[in-house]
Structures are given as C-alpha cells and as structure tokens.
Amino acid sequence: KGTQGALLMDKYGVAHIESGAVFRQHVGSGTELGKKAKEYMDRGELVPDEITIPMILDILGKQGDKGWLLDGFPRTSAQAVALDAELSKLGRPLDAALLIDVDPEVIVARLTSRRMCRDCGYIGSAADGDTCPKCGGEMYQRDDDNEATVRNRLDVYETSTSPLIDYYRGCELLVTIDGDRDPNVVYADVKEALDL
C-alpha cells in the first residue's frame, strides 16, 4: 500500500497521509504523542483511537482541494465512523476504500526485507543494499519490520481491521485489488479503480 500511495502522490500530486509515517515523525521528534505511540508500534499493536483519530482528522482538516490518500487509517470501526463524520462536515465523502489483498506469508516476506532511505524516504528491499538507488542515502530497516512484530501486526489486522472490509462493502465503497503481482500491474488496477 505504501508503494501504491507513493506512486499516486508522485503522479497526481495528492497528499499521501500515512498514519505510520506520522507516528514515526513524532517518535523521531520525541513528542509526547511519539513516546506514547512508540510503545504500541514496537509491539506491532494499533495505536489507540484516542491518539490516532484526532491526529489524522487534524491533518485532513488542513488539506486543500487536490485530494488525498489515507494509508493506514482507518484501522478500526471507531476510526471509520469518526472519519465519516468529519468528512460529512467537510462535504467531502470518500471516493473509494481500497483493499490491496496480499497473502499473509507474502506480507511477512516483503516487510522483513523492506528497507527505507533515511534521506529521501525511498522504499526498497534488502536487495538494494546499504545505499539508496534513488539518492545515495543510507538504507535502513525499521525496528518494527522484524518477523515477530510483522506477524503480530497481521494478527491485530485480523481482529481489529478486517471488520472494515464489511463496513466499506456495506457503504458500497470497497474495491479489492490483488496486490500479489508486479507493483506496476497493481498500480494500473488502482488507477482504473479510482477512475484516474
């Protein structure tokens, strides 16, 4: 989902609001929010709604008319309801809720080999080595991209997030895309699903 979000942001100039990146920014800055969020993130657990909801809604309220893509939010039914209420106030309903469906074992393999650039944010894999192919910066592995944490995140997903599939299906907004293919093929399907 991060790869697809970055492609859409680059091509269409939409804001890519990734809750995990916002949390990591707060962790890196040492904010109180960051300290609270880090405890949950390190265990692969969801950051509680009382922290997540106001943070994301505040960011959404500052966005212009160009559009945005939410990545990692909502993750609970309470977050979805809060998002719907806020978007209703703003007069900006969701266009779609994308489910990029990938086999859990593929997710484990992808995330445990994921590497990120400290300088430009490029997302790659262990195959990129220690140097970013985009800018030459240092590649690193996130602390929460270890197998135990990734598997726990998948368990949390099944419990807390998978009910959103039925929620958005009921709203007639759910679009499911097979994410177990080449990223460019997935991207073509994402664009078609969003009428881009």
Active-site residue list = 1, 75, 114, 142, 153
DSSP one-letter code for 68:
E
Burial status of residue 156 (CB atoms within 10 A of its CB: 0-12, 13-18, 19 or more): middle
Q: Look up residue 139 and give its two tokens.
A: 């590649």
The DSSP annotation for 122-136 comes to -EEEGGGTTB-TTTS
Tell me the chain's radius of gyration from C-alpha atoms.
17
Q: Look up residue 187 and give its two tokens.
A: 């991207």
DSSP one-letter code for 76:
S
Round to whole Å and give the CA distance between 71 and 50. 18
Would you tell me the crossing angle of helices 49-61 and 77-90 to the nearest 10 degrees?
20
